[in-house]
Amino acid sequence: MKAVRTIGKTWKSRPTIEGAGVHLRRAFGYDQVPQLDPFLLLDDFRSDDPSKFLPGFPWHPHRGIETITYVLEGNVEHGDSMGNKGNILPGDVQWMTAGSGIIHQEMPKGDARKHMGGFQLWANLPASHKMMDPRYREIKSSRIPEAILPGGVRARVICGRLDGVEGPAKDIVTDPEYLDVSVPAGGTFEHGVKPGHTVLAYVIEGEGYFDPGRDAYAREAASRNWFDIERNCRCGEGTLVLYGNGDAVRVISEEVPVRFLLVSGKPIGEPVAWYGPIVMNTREELKVAFEEYSNGTFIKHA
Ligand code: CO
């Protein structure tokens, strides 16, 4: 018998402005540390207003983390200090391990309909790997397999394993899983997760029930504001669900389908010293990073 995880907390992503003036919604970030350890940040940059995404993220450094960019619509032009240059297209993932440091730029361009859509997740690195050599993985959409489950549930497996389907992003320090799951109306998705790992879901379309404790009584009680409405009721677009412990998650949809990102990883449990795009363990390491950036010795890779 699997212990199905119940919801620990839910909240909505919030509007914020990043880079050179990109309007996005932040599902979690600095203020939530260390609740989502090993994850640091999740930004939702879906928009249909080019003035709000074209300013982009011009040249900036990263050290001590991984940034994982998943594009749904439009494209992100990028270039970096390792000489990589290209476009992240719809369905593609760029899994970038900054390690000891890279300097890069990320410029969302939108499509012919002026739509831009995607997500950027930041995963922390443990002290033992913060200064590892940087590594880029460009994962084209065609390399991301889709698991087709009973009841018409589909999931793109970016990282991790689902129903015998293995994602292309492998050998990642924090043993993460990253799925893009679509559950049709009236469907159920159940998936084993590792006990002790942090598990989160971010709803990108529709609505669903993310907690097995949901029942008629709970809904009635919530509708009367007897207790926390989000805990037992449905979670809609833009909701971040942070799970409690257990070894499975179960998501149920009723009248409408639901699509969500399901992300899990092994907590690192170390101190976090974070300023802007650099995340280390101590303030001293942060100071060194910014000194190196200003005196031109930041880049360690060949
Ligand atoms: Co960046």
pLDDT of residue 92 exceeding 80, the answer is yes
pLDDT at 30: 97
The residue type of 232 is N
> Residue 31 half-sphere exposure, CB side, CA atoms within 13 Å?
6
pLDDT at 216: 44
3-state SS, residue 109: coil
Q: Domain limits of the chain?
A: 7-287
CA 5, chain centre distance (Å) = 19
pLDDT of residue 85 exceeding 50, the answer is yes
Percent of the chain residues past pLDDT 90, beyond the cut: 85
Ligand 1 center from residue 209 Cα (angstroms): 33
Pairing mode of beta strands 239-243, 57-62: unpaired
Ligand 1 center from residue 103 Cα (angstroms): 8
**Which fold is adopted by the domain 7-287?**
Jelly Rolls (2.60.120)
Q: Are 75 and 88 in contact (CB under 8 A)?
A: yes
For the purposes of burial, counting CB atoms within 10 Å of the CB of 41, is it exposed (0-12), middle (13-18) or buried (19 or more)? Answer: buried
Ligand 1 center from residue 84 Cα (angstroms): 14
Q: What are phi and psi of 233, to 5 degrees?
A: -100, -175
Ligand 1 center from residue 120 Cα (angstroms): 9
Ligand 1 center from residue 97 Cα (angstroms): 11
Q: From CA 300, how far away is CA 101, in angstroms rounded?
A: 7
Q: From CA 103, how far away is CA 296, in angstroms rounded?
A: 11
Model confidence pLDDT, tens digit, residues 242-270: 999 999 999 999 899 999 999 999 999 99
pLDDT of residue 104 exceeding 50, the answer is yes
Gyration radius of the chain's alpha carbons: 19
Q: What are phi and psi of 258, to 5 degrees?
A: -140, 140
pLDDT at 223: 56
Ligand 1 center from residue 98 Cα (angstroms): 9
- pTM, two decimal places: 0.93
Ligand 1 center from residue 57 Cα (angstroms): 7
pLDDT at 212: 79
- Return mean pLDDT, the chain: 92
How distant, in Å, are the alpha carbons of 62, 137, 143 from that of 92?
21, 11, 9
Q: For residues 160-188, give the mean pLDDT.
A: 94
Ligand 1 center from residue 240 Cα (angstroms): 22
Ligand 1 center from residue 116 Cα (angstroms): 17
Model confidence pLDDT, tens digit, residues 112-171: 999 999 999 999 999 999 999 999 999 999 999 999 999 999 999 999 999 999 999 988
Ligand 1 center from residue 76 Cα (angstroms): 12
Ligand 1 center from residue 126 Cα (angstroms): 19
CA 128, chain centre distance (Å) = 23
Ligand 1 center from residue 293 Cα (angstroms): 15
Ligand 1 center from residue 88 Cα (angstroms): 13
What are the tokens at 146? 């889709």
Per-residue pLDDT band at 221 (split at 50, 70, 90)? low
Ligand 1 center from residue 46 Cα (angstroms): 17
- The more confident residue out of 96 and 232 is 96
Ligand 1 center from residue 96 Cα (angstroms): 9
Q: For residues 209-226, give the mean pLDDT.
A: 62
pLDDT at 122: 98
Ligand 1 center from residue 58 Cα (angstroms): 9
Model confidence pLDDT, tens digit, residues 41-68: 999 999 999 999 999 999 999 999 999 9
- Bridge partners of 120? 43, 69
pLDDT at 214: 65
Ligand 1 center from residue 198 Cα (angstroms): 23
- The more confident residue out of 154 and 234 is 154
Q: From CA 170, how far away is CA 254, in angstroms rounded?
A: 34
pLDDT at 171: 85
Q: From CA 146, how far away is CA 301, in angstroms rounded?
A: 35
Ligand 1 center from residue 148 Cα (angstroms): 33
Ligand 1 center from residue 122 Cα (angstroms): 10
What are the tokens at 9? 């907390």
Ligand 1 center from residue 86 Cα (angstroms): 14
